[in-house]
Amino acid sequence: MHIPKLCDACGGRSHRQRSLSLLLTISLSTLLVPPSLAQTPPIPSPSNAPLELDLLTKPKDYVITANTINPERLTVPSLWWAQQNSERKLLDNWIAYPPSEKEPARVDLIVNEQIWSLLDYVERYDFVNRLGSTARNFGYNVRVFNYQKEPLATYTCNFNTSPALCSIQTTLKNKIGLQRSL
């Protein structure tokens, strides 16, 4: 039987044990170290297209609103369930735009400003995250507005990754009406 020589400077471990230990350390550190920012695919900026509130009363064939119902099949994105279950007073309406050559699909949510202003940051984040997650499942990004067409929040995803990488941005208004993005 072969007995490996022990190295005094190595704490009594053999060369083979040291090599195995080093290999395990390298393997585990490779698995546990997150990818660098250069390797992470970017999340696109939210759409800068204007909110088209006139589509709520005069919808075009390509958009879907809270008042659009397809009697034959599920209308995508389906935000009615979310609106009826928990967002009845906050979510007034939405306009869903299909993807185009210029932009991915998006939903513009229009919220009741009085209710929105009563929410703290965490409640607003929760609202955007819940509806953004629902829209993401249908391949849509989300923007949140009030009826004055002021942008309040976005939920934007990179759908070219699996799972999709998403980002939430909100705008806080201070008491004197100045806005800042978070």
Higher pLDDT, 8 or 153: 153
Per-residue model confidence (pLDDT) at position 110 = 92
pLDDT digits (tens, 9 = 90+) for 22-35: 444 444 433 444 45
Residue in 135, 145, 136 with CA at minimum distance from that of residue 91: 145
Q: Is pLDDT of 19 > 60?
A: no
Residue with structure tokens 């390298």? 26
Higher-confidence position of 152 and 11: 152
Q: SS3 for 110?
A: strand
Question: How many Å is the Cα radius of gyration of the chain?
Answer: 25
What's the pLDDT tens digit per position in 80-135? Answer: 556 555 566 888 888 888 888 888 899 999 999 999 999 999 999 999 999 999 89
How high is the pLDDT of residue 85? 59
pTM of the model: 0.68
**Neighbouring residues of 63: CB distance < 8 A, sequence distance ≥ 6:** 55, 95, 96, 97, 98
Edge-to-edge strand list for the sheet holding 165-173: 64-65, 91-97, 106-111, 141-145, 151-158, 165-173, 179-181
Mean pLDDT of 152-169: 92
Q: Which residues contact 67 (CB under 8 A, 6 or more apart)?
A: 56, 59, 93
Q: Higher-confidence residue: 98 or 11?
A: 98
34-74 pLDDT, tens digit per residue, is 454 456 668 888 999 999 999 888 878 778 777 666 544 44
